[in-house]
Amino acid sequence: MTSKTAHWDHRYQVGDTPWDSGIVERELVRFVKSRTNWTGRAFELGCGSGTNAVYLAKTGFEVVAADCSTTALSRGSELAAAVGVSVNFIAADLCSVADVRRALGSDSAKLERSFSLLFDRGCFHCARKVNLTGFLETLDWLAAPHTNFLMLCGNPNDRSEGGPPRVSQDEVRSELGGLFEFVSIYEFHFEDRGGITGPLGWACEMIRRA
């Protein structure tokens, strides 16, 4: 276990997880419902305790959900079992495509660039500070031309104390724009536990360049 992985796992163990609302992300629901009968394979980057991965599975997607925290992943597996859906939860460092492939095991070759939807709520804004190049290599491996990507991250226009790491719109565009074309970027609020309005974020809808 690396120190970063241990850091995240510890936060789940002690309950220092303000992002872990247990509520399905509204922007994800809106994104999925904006297309008719959209299914196929979905990959969630930094799935945490699995609320959104389970939602995607209930919607009909074949879901792979990755996180480096095994504590979070166990909770996701318990939730999926309780709801009665199948999600392939994998423990992997998303800044290392080799580690993602290792975690996928014998499914790895079949899954390369096979996902129609990528979803990230709060992983990119953390991982970019650790190893942006590695994270982009993983995205490149997951996304085929025309794969849709919804990424939610912190927004520097939020002037409140604390909250998630902030990423400027210019940074989002320059860091992800090589791989993805932007369909829209708009401000939204994360939703905290209990349905309370949380920090301001960017919702970024992208399509993998051909």
**Which residue in the set 42, 87, 111, 126 belongs to the binding site for ligand SAM (CB under 6 A)?**
126
User: 197 with 191: CB under 8 angstroms?
Assistant: yes
Q: Closest distance between ligand SAM and the C-beta of residue 17, in Å?
A: 7
**Which residue in the set 27, 54, 104, 121 belongs to the binding site for ligand SAM (CB under 6 A)?**
121
DSSP code per residue over 156-194 = TT--SSS-SPB--HHHHHHHHTTTEEEEEEEEEEEEEGG
Choices 56-64, 65-73, 141-149, 179-187 (CB under 6 A): range interacting with ligand SAM: 65-73
Q: Closest distance between ligand SAM and the C-beta of residue 19, in Å?
A: 4
**Which residue in the set 32, 54, 94, 167 belongs to the binding site for ligand SAM (CB under 6 A)?**
94
What is the CB-side half-sphere exposure of residue 166 using CA atoms within 13 A?
14
**Rounded alpha-carbon distances, angstroms, from residue 80 to 26, 54, 76:** 19, 6, 6
User: 128 with 166: CB under 8 angstroms?
Assistant: no
122 binds ligand SAM, rule: CB under 6 A: yes
Nearer to ligand SAM, 33 or 129 (CB): 129
User: 41 with 22: CB under 8 angstroms?
Assistant: no
27 binds ligand SAM, rule: CB under 6 A: no
42 binds ligand SAM, rule: CB under 6 A: no
At residue 38, the 3 state secondary structure works out as coil
Footprint of ligand SAM (CB under 6 A) = 8, 19-20, 46-48, 66-69, 72, 93-95, 121-123, 126-127
